[in-house]
Structure 1
Amino acid sequence: MEFTPVTHVLFDMDGLILNTENLYTVAFQNIVSKYGKDYTFELKLKLMGSQTHETANTIVKELDLPMTPEEFIIESKKQFELLFPDTEVLPGAKRLIEHLHNKNFPIGLATSSSEESYHLKIDKHHQALFSLFPYKTFGSSDPNVKRGKPYPDIFLVAANKFPENPKPEQCLVFEDAVNGVKAAKAAGMQVVMVPDQRLDKRMTTDATLVLNSLEDFKPEIFGLPPFDD
């Protein structure tokens, strides 16, 4: 398969760099359990990549919860404060980010998280790693990101932060979620997907390249500097 060389790289965060997707599942299940409901993998798939208010609206509606989306967000924040500080970096992520940074290759973060949620996840253990991203876009906090993934807004906004103003086709996105892949594709960008192992392979066909782990990524196939070792 042919891959086009790129000049800029954008990273999703949740489920790609950090293992927070499992923690979201725990947090939301803790809330909906009080009402005898299940936060299923099918529902999770619909929501991965959504902004905070979109997620709350969908869960409340789909599970017919006796609470408003605003109340759900408040409950979620309480759960996140307990769970997120000890999130871990996923295999291969640190090596790749540090490699591109050390080679002076332009990288940016494009996460649907709010800035508040981002700090809960990184402040305790991961500030050094995330300081390597000179440009960060927080989908749930940035007024320029009008719509969450699968719409392309976040990746277009994130790419515009690079001073070189790369064209979409010059950008490579790393994602774990179906909605994130759709968003990158809609933005006109190539996208490497590292999906949840439970995901039906037929739902990964929009990705330019699908990997089991970031450890398997070979930068040179997209014209990026190869790893030194």
Structure 2
Amino acid sequence: MPRRFHAVIFDLDGVLADSEPWWNEIDATLLAEYSVTYRGEYHRNVLGVSYRLAVEFYKNAFSLSVPTEEMMQRRGEIAVRFFAHRIGLFPSAKPVLEELRHMNLRLAVTTSSVSASARPFLGRHELSPLFDLIITGDEVEHGKPHPEIYLRASEKLGVPPEACLVVEDSLSGVAAAKAAQMRVAAIPDRRFVDPRNYEKEANYVVSDLNEIPSLIRNIG
């Protein structure tokens, strides 16, 4: 029988924050500064990866000779504006988090987004008090799909990886969690990806965040 869960670790973008539709506009704004017209054609390639990997992908795709650090900084600055004024919360996010707290589970957020956008967003939606731990992409050396952010969460929560459930929407995030020896519930955003691509990668594939509490109860 699988070990019961003691902690749930959430990605932010596309899981709690309905931000994935906006990342195309964020990146279009960024790339326009370098005279590139972008219409979201590479959304799947950068879905869920670290800022560094996303920027390096764009530099290669559009033959840009721009310092990576410069583009990463600008991407973060643009994202801060979007998270502050445009990006909303999925309706089921707060009720699900409150239910999981009542189940005495430890909760964390591990996101590729930078602290300057992620933390104010969580605070504005009154989610911060529900989490025991928040780790952002600029607080780790290696971003997803590297497992560092999940291993650090496990260590800081004091919960072994095999007792952690990760909730992710991207294949890069799923890969990071699996590399950390954690079980993963994937919530593919059908607007952008084919859920069938997740069936062999994630332990569980669900259609909505509100399925997570019952999934955990069924494990025991």
The TM-score with structure 1 as length reference comes to 0.83
Question: What is residue 60 of structure 1 aligned with on the other side?
Answer: 59
- For 1:39 and 1:69, locate their aligned partners in 2 and report how far apart those are by CA, in whole Å: 21
Question: What is residue 85 of structure 1 aligned with on the other side?
Answer: 84
- How do 1:20-39 and structure 2 match up within 5 A? 20-33=19-32, 35-39=35-39
1:173 partner amino acid? V
- For 1:8 and 1:78, locate their aligned partners in 2 and report how far apart those are by CA, in whole Å: 32
- For 2:109 and 2:51, locate their aligned partners in 1 and report how far apart those are by CA, in whole Å: 17
Give the alignment partner of residue 172 of structure 1, picking from 165, 172, 197: 165
The gaps in structure 2 that reach 5 residues or longer are: none
2:173 partner amino acid? G
Question: What is residue 135 of structure 1 aligned with on the other side?
Answer: 133
Q: For 1:161, what is the secondary structure of its paired residue?
A: helix
1:193-221: CA deviation from partner (whole Å, max 9, x where unpaired): 01110312342021111112112332312
Q: What is the aligned-residue identity percentage?
A: 28
2:135 partner amino acid? T
Q: For 1:136, what is the secondary structure of its paired residue?
A: strand
- Cα RMSD (Å): 2.2
Deviation (angstroms), 1:39: 4.8
Give the alignment partner of residue 196 of structure 1, picking from 165, 168, 189: 189
Q: Which stretches of structure 1, 4 residues or more, deviate above 6 A after TM superposition?
A: none
**Alpha-carbon contact 1:91-1:213 (below 8 Å) kept:** no
- For 1:161 and 1:45, locate their aligned partners in 2 and report how far apart those are by CA, in whole Å: 31
User: CA distance change for structure 1 residues 6 and 81 in 2, over 3 Å: closer, same or farther?
Assistant: closer
Question: What is residue 72 of structure 2 aligned with on the other side?
Answer: 73
1:203 partner amino acid? N
Deviation (angstroms), 1:36: 4.0
State the aligned residue count.
214
1:104-145: CA deviation from partner (whole Å, max 9, x where unpaired): 32111111222122134334x31x21221121112322xxx3
Does residue 222 of the first structure (1) align with residue 216 of the second (2)? no
Q: For 1:15, what is the secondary structure of its paired residue?
A: coil
- For 1:45 and 1:169, locate their aligned partners in 2 and report how far apart those are by CA, in whole Å: 29
- For 2:102 and 2:211, locate their aligned partners in 1 and report how far apart those are by CA, in whole Å: 19
**Alpha-carbon contact 2:36-2:62 (below 8 Å) kept:** no
**Alpha-carbon contact 2:26-2:75 (below 8 Å) kept:** yes
- For 2:76 and 2:9, locate their aligned partners in 1 and report how far apart those are by CA, in whole Å: 26
